[in-house]
Amino acid sequence: MSEPQSTLTDRFGRRITYVRMSVTDRCDFRCVYCMDEKMTFVPREQLLTLEEMARLGKAFVQLGVHKIRLTGGEPLTRRNVMQLFNDLGHLDGLNDFTLTTNGSQLPKYAQQLKDAGVTRINISLDTLDAQRFADLTRIGKIEQTLDGIDAAIAAGFDRIKLNAVILKNRNHDEIIPLVDFARDKGIDISFIEEMPLGVISDHDRAEVYYSSDDILRDIREKYDLQAIGATTGGPSKYYQSADSDTRVGFISPHSHNFCDDCNRVRVTAEGRLLLCLGQEHSVDLRRVLRANPLDDAPLLAALQDAMQIKPKGHEFDLNAKPILFRHMSATGG
Ligand code: SAM
Ligand code: SF4
């Protein structure tokens, strides 16, 4: 693979090689930490088209991005979404093409995604209990996600990882069962601290905070987890025990800030480039895409210019006001 002529490097010398693109802000679940019960979604005409998303993804790869994650909302609920996976999947220079999903549509799509070039999949699963699953997702059914996990395993991705958001007194008693489940299935699992993105009415985020250190302590009551140096180019820190291939990751935006080696940016489904998960610095790429339908030079220049406003980092404070204007589903989690 030859080095690109120009790359994306910010003021702090961090090279941006990883882009998370939100395919839609809509979802077939309403998880209590992610969305409010009644959500207003972006009108469809304001979303980037799938063609515009593919064009943007290709521009990023031209600038040295070698990992793209498609996320949402629930990416697999967008109509004709396979078109986007097929357009991006086999790009020269893109060596990691990944998806974050709630799993509900994987029975239908897992094999097509594998064929399109998706290398790895993250599937969200916070509980193994059917009633709790219904409570936490408000409208989801656990069988959908469990069937989706099995479909992904059958399709044979390089790696599959579960993502679990742990909330005190809601599902913290399931940490070990979730690790057991991942080990039984031969897949990885990451635990995520809840982040204050968007206003939610279900709970007080400070009250349910359960830190990565607490989770690690709980798991060590059963398994001898040791830190390993492995990275998948994201914010997870990984651990493993000698008796299993399953890696246990921790995404700890509160307790272990991961900004110093940040290598990523996000794009919302409306085409807004977000330079930091926890700050509001952004650039309207939809305007650039639509003003220059046949010429990519202004788009490439806009991406490079945007690096000048990437902030040094973020601090989340559960007692301060949240990032108001976007929920995780709109941010592209
Ligand atoms: N719908 C897909 C899913 O659930 O995997 C993809 C989008 S979802 C926003 C991506 C990830 O963000 C999920 O693992 C979800 O659990 C996590 N998430 C959502 N809201 C969050 C929050 N406020 N804090 C931490 N993680 C959150
Ligand atoms: Fe939907 Fe994923 Fe948010 Fe749950 S976490 S509401 S599945 S976007």
Residues 6+ apart with CB under 8 A from 121: 98, 99, 100, 101, 106, 110, 113, 152, 157, 160, 161
3-state secondary structure of 97: strand
Domain 18-331 has CATH 3.30.230.10: no
The predicted-structure confidence for 24-52, as pLDDT tens digits, reads as follows: 999 999 999 999 888 899 999 999 999 99
DSSP 3-state helix, strand, coil percentages of the chain (rounded to 5)? 30, 15, 50
Q: Among candidates 120, 202, 119, which has minimal Cα distance to 165? A: 202
Confidence of residue 4 (pLDDT cuts 50, 70, 90): low
The predicted-structure confidence for 79-135, as pLDDT tens digits, reads as follows: 999 999 999 998 999 999 999 999 999 999 999 999 999 999 999 999 999 999 999
The residue to mutate among 31, 38, 100, 141, having the most atoms of ligand 2 within 8 angstroms of its beta carbon, is 31
The ligand with the least distance to the CA atom of 192 is 1
- The closest residue, in CA terms, to atom 2 on ligand 1 is 101
- The closest residue, in CA terms, to atom 11 on ligand 1 is 333
- Ligand 2 site residues (CB inside 6 A) read 27, 29-31, 34-35, 72-74, 102, 124, 328-329
Mean pLDDT, rounded, for 61-77: 97
Please give the order of strands across the beta sheet that includes 96-101: 226-227, 237-240, 247-251, 188-192, 159-165, 120-124, 96-101, 67-71, 18-22, 264-267, 272-274, 282-284
- The closest residue, in CA terms, to atom 4 on ligand 2 is 31
The predicted-structure confidence for 208-235, as pLDDT tens digits, reads as follows: 899 999 999 999 999 999 999 877 666 7
The predicted-structure confidence for 183-209, as pLDDT tens digits, reads as follows: 999 999 999 998 877 778 888 888 889
Q: Which atom of ligand 1 is nearest to the CA of 29?
A: 1
